[in-house]
Amino acid sequence: MARRTRERILETSLAMFNAAGEPNVTTNHIADELGISPGNLYYHFRNKDDIVGQLFARYEQRMDEALTAPQQRLPDLEDVWLQLHLVFECMWDFRFLYRDLVDILARNRTLRLRFGRVLERAAGAARQVLHGLVESGAMRASSSEIEALVESILLIATFWLDYDAVRHGATREQPQRLARGIHQVMLLLAPYLREAERAHLTGLAGAYRA
Partner DNA sequence: GTCTATATAGGGATAGAC
Partner DNA sequence: GTCTATCCCTATATAGAC
190-193 own/partner pairs: CB under 8 Å, 24+ apart: 192/139, 192/140, 192/141, 192/145, 192/149, 193/77, 193/138, 193/139
CA-to-CA distance for 167 and 4, rounded, in angstroms? 39
Cβ pair 55, 17 in contact under 8 A:
yes
46 binds, among its own copies, DNA, none (CB under 5 to 8 A by kind): DNA
Taking CB under 8 A as the criterion, the residue among 105, 127, 128, 179 binding its own copies is: 105
In the bound state with its own copies, the residue whose beta carbon lies nearer, of 36 and 118, is 118
Alpha helix ranges (H) inside 107-142:
109-135
Taking CB under 7 A as the criterion, the residue among 10, 36, 105, 188 binding DNA is: 36
Give CA 74 to chain center in angstroms: 24
What is the size of the binding site for its own copies (CB under 8 A)? Answer: 39
176 binds, among DNA, its own copies, none (CB under 5 to 8 A by kind): none
β-sheet bridge partners, residue 193? 139
- 143 to 182, contacts with its own copies by CB under 8 A? 144-145, 148, 151-152, 154-156, 158-160, 162-163, 165-167, 169
Residue 165 CB, shortest distance to its own copies, in Å, is 6
Residue 176: C-alpha distances to residues 67, 137, 141, 172 (Å): 22, 31, 30, 7
Task: Return the closest-CA partner of residue 13 out of 57, 62, 48.
Answer: 48
Cβ pair 186, 80 in contact under 8 A:
yes
CB under 8 A: which stretch of 19-27, 42-50, 61-69, 127-135 binds its own copies?
19-27
Indicate whether 115 belongs to the interface with its own copies (CB under 8 A).
Answer: yes
In the bound state with DNA, the residue whose beta carbon lies nearer, of 51 and 126, is 51
Q: Give the footprint of its own copies on this chain (CB under 8 A).
A: 21, 23-24, 99-103, 105-106, 112, 115-116, 119, 144-145, 148, 151-152, 154-156, 158-160, 162-163, 165-167, 169, 184, 187-188, 190-192, 202, 205
